Amino acid sequence: MRKLLRVVSYSIITMAIMLFLPFSIQAHLTPNIDKRAVYNSLSPMLSKTTASVVNISVERFILQPVRSFKPDTQQSVIPEKVIGIGSGVIINAQKGYIVTNTHVIKDQKIILVTLKDGRRYRAQIIGKDKGCDLSVIQIRAKHLTEIPFSNSDRLKAGDFVVAIGSPFGLNQTVTYGIISALNRQDPRIDNFQNFIQTDAPINPGNSGGALIDLQGRLIGINTAIVTSSFGNIGIGFAIPSNMVKNISEQLIKYGTVKHSILGVTAQNITPELANALNLKHTIGALVTKIFCGSPAERAGLQVQDVIQSINQFAVHTSEQLHNILGLMRPGTTVHLVIVRDNHKIKKITTKTVDPKDIFHKHNIPFLGGMRLQQFSDLEPDGTFLNGVLITNINDDSNGALAGLQTGDIILNANGKMISTVKELIRITTQEPRQLLLKVYRGSRQWFLVISNDNNQ
């Protein structure tokens, strides 16, 4: 009897250990996972979120040729209606503001928004930004549901995400996955890039839709896919919510986004470059050019400086430098941390400017459409030429219309001798009406005048 009790006791203890062990191990290995998110349905969260994602359709007409069966008959065309489909996200329920991709609405005059409950409204464009591929439209409707923003700077690879949109016109389609990577650049896209990469299935029609976390907060706007066919292969991109918030607020307030620059070009640092330049690492943006009269020049930046941070935002690549500056309004004060000759310079302060303030000021109208370089040479007759060589000039530029040609050497501008492109640019900015040039061509010297049509 005692032996039987002992066996029963051992069996009960063993069963208790077996029942308890899997849960203790699981809790030990995954202490930070929200068990409700893992084991429960996403339906409760989605029931509060999907109403904030809308279907967007645009109508436009294209001219299609009409085939004629009669020979020698002039071909005619007829307008044909084409409907494009995308998605959008309500970010302000009270005022009816919806954010979407610029490539979804383009320049269409007829934009129709369909809500989850089937209501349909015509939308008006509040503002568009091609550089970030974001636009804000507005509908006049009541009882809308807006989505809260999450802080996309806190995202990590491996976080669970949910994509909501209208792929192929299938409204309120929900897919899920994880964040595959952050700070991605898509080489096919030439704009401000800092994409979230996800494996959540994103297909045509998802553009402008929401990428959300498991709490139903917006972490990104779906914008692009990488595919070898017409569908998803597990590589999708979304614009981070912090960028969406920044751009949408500017669009609502100003109707446009004014991007800014410092007046530099930069490149990424490869291990080979780091070794050749005696840099300790490859982190940062290597300055390759500084534009004349730019904030960068005035602040004392130099070619081969390495920009490591702007206003405490770390700069790891030249793309990040481009993105950080581009999202600032012109006139923003910036504090740079740079490396020069392997020594950190902690305080270089300047202000950003609108790109037009640099490029229009220096290249239009006098020098627009020209490629210039410094030139020095000794002629056979002993004449020493020192000036600026025109290596290429557009036929429709003001300089070409005034008589300048490729191969001309500019020796004098407005009565002042010049020896560098920088000197020529400075002289052109001092006289807004016309530019008198002394030019060397062949073996002769000529005087030419370029007029500023904008000041006539």
User: Which sequence positions are flagged as catalytic?
Assistant: 103, 133, 207
How far does the chain reach from its first CA to its final CA, in angstroms? Answer: 117
Asked whether 424 and 388 are in contact (CB, 8 A), the reply is yes
Q: For residues 137 and 208, give the distance between their C-alpha atoms in angstroms, rounded to a whole number.
A: 12
Residues 6+ apart with CB under 8 A from 110: 58, 59, 60, 122
Q: For residues 218 and 49, give the distance between their C-alpha atoms in angstroms, rounded to a whole number.
A: 10
Q: For residues 28 and 22, give the distance between their C-alpha atoms in angstroms, rounded to a whole number.
A: 10
Q: Please compute, for residue 338, the number of CA atoms within 13 A of its CA located in the half-sphere on the CB side.
A: 23
Residues 6+ apart with CB under 8 A from 151: 241, 242
